[in-house]
Structure 1
């Protein structure tokens, strides 16, 4: 059976894949374009895609040999799941393996943004630091504040636990379905969460319904001292509206690990001192990426063998 791997995974995963499949792996680290996706669908039995690969609806008309897409990652907004299913393919993802690492990055961004750590490092590296003084770079004290989480799935709950247990934060959240979470209070809308929280964290899946869930109206509900963190997907925030809010100091800051047109980051956003910008590091730890790869490979093997995979979407 032929496995097509979009981009190279950790060595241990690639070695395990070679024990089960005839493996073809692209040499580039860039996403697959439409022509590459169509060719892989025609030539491979199983495809292991990942973030940004162009498996939209227009990838599936034509010759298809593949039985399924074993996605590497929990997010799969680069795949038109309905079109894939209509073409007879199974689609899977890698939930669970990414939960703690992604929640950790959320806490990293909360602290970096609240305490102006990125800005402070730039001051030191530039040689402009003149020494400590009592009013130097005053930021937001996180302990005891209110965190508002938009999307209370596995990752949202892991963020809530860290904020509550580690920093004594009150937790409010928005979720499209009713959910009972110990120590957290569900609110009726995104705007209510934005108005109530000192720190707003985006942890929703990227779907047509969640695109620009944080728009100008939601940002206007936030308080001037509040910060916004995004570890979901870039397009859940209207990036232009966020830039305006940051530039005008209508909110205190934003910590971003993802971007609306990734990897393109607007020049204006990069010039804003109150923005902390990371290069999509959410799951960037070797053992996490190995666990994701093993999960994706288990899904791929099940698809190849005609079994129900462990993690269908």
Structure 2
């Protein structure tokens, strides 16, 4: 069968697909039109960019959409379920990468390493050392985590056991938190955190969860860190808080619109740290995500259930669709 790639994958994934006898359709660009054309004759697609909502109107043979990553907001899951297209993802493969990235964000904020480097080269030893006047330590600070799944758990482990931080967490099942994470309701989480990490999936319930009212509760020196999805924050409220310096700053890896527009106001602030949705991407994590995504694709095309099944309610319809495609 034919497996479309929205973006390149690691060689191990291509080897797995070819060994199973499948043809690979290489990436054909970005944007809805290119993705519709890419999937027109494909039985499966490995997803690394947002698929158009009407994809299935243009992909009559599609049986599987496998996310090369965790968040399935890149896939029109409801439409897939209705049509009998199975959806899978790759949870856990980038857990360490994202957790370590949040730690890197906090260290960059606390120690001003990037600013010291630039000033050391441009202005010399003295001005660069002056940055240490504002340096702080992570030890003893409070880290709040909104969305304590695999990434949040790993982040809490590093922060508490490694840096001796106090860790607060918010999740639906508060009883699932380990002893080193204290449960906090949202108002408490925002009010007490020195660093507040957003690591929740984007769902109708979490869209805009970092609201203007909650941002207003943050400490004047607190930083908001987002490695989830852009729309979990009320963007206008965050921009206003940063502009008025009502919070310490924001370290953002994701945005409402990606790539971040050249004229976006976030680019003009000196109290933000901006990165291009790279928190989960390391050599190790990309190789692991590619491997698992390919294995799940092969599994589905063999007529088996994926291990990381997003829409199991589509199983019966998927069997009918597979028979129609085969005919």
When normalised by structure 1's length, the TM-score is 0.91
CA drift at 1:15: 3.1
> Structure 2 vs 1, CA of residues 51 and 63 (structure 1 numbering), >3 Å: closer, same or farther?
closer
Residue 272 of structure 1, CA deviation: 1.2
Alpha-carbon offset, residue 180 of structure 1: 2.8
Distance 2:42 2:267 in 1: 40
Q: Verify the 8 A CA contact 1:120 1:137 in the aligned structure 2.
A: no
Q: Is the Cα–Cα contact under 8 Å of residues 88 and 306 in structure 2 kept in the other structure? A: yes
> Equivalent residue for 1:234?
230
What is aligned with 1:14?
14
Distance 1:234 1:135, change over 3 A: closer
User: Separation in 2 of the partners of 1:2 and 1:274?
Assistant: 47
Match of 1:67 in 2: 63
User: Structure 2: which 5+ runs fail to align?
Assistant: 311-327
The structure-2 alpha-carbon separation of the partners of 1:37 and 1:274, relative to structure 1 and needing over 3 Å to count, comes to same
Q: Is the 8 A contact 2:5 2:25 kept in 1?
A: yes
For the aligned residue pairs, the C-alpha RMSD in angstroms reads: 2.0
Distance apart, 1:114 and its partner CA: 2.7
Q: By percentage of residues, which structure has more helix?
A: 2
Count of residues paired in the alignment: 307
Counterparts of 1:43 and 1:227, CA distance in 2: 47
| CA spacing shift, 1:133–1:106, aligned 2, 3 Å | closer
1:155 alignment partner in structure 2? 151
Runs of 4+ in 1 over 4 A off after TM superposition: 132-137
CA distance in structure 2 between the partners assigned to 1:270 and 1:63 by the alignment: 38
2: distance between equivalents of 1:133 and 1:80? Answer: 51
What SS does the aligned partner of 2:200 have?
coil
Tell me the alpha carbon deviations over residues 36-88 of structure 1, each in whole angstroms, 9 at most, x when there is no partner. Answer: 4444444111111123332x2x3223652111101111111121211111011
3-state SS of 2:169 partner: strand
Structure scoring higher RCO (CA < 8 A, sep ≥ 6) equals 2
Unaligned residue ranges in structure 1 (runs of 5+): none
Distance in 2, matches of 1:217 and 1:140, equals: 28
C-alpha separation in 2, matches of 1:270 and 1:124: 23
2:47 is the alignment partner of 1:46: no
Corresponding residue to 1:290 among 277, 287, 290: 287
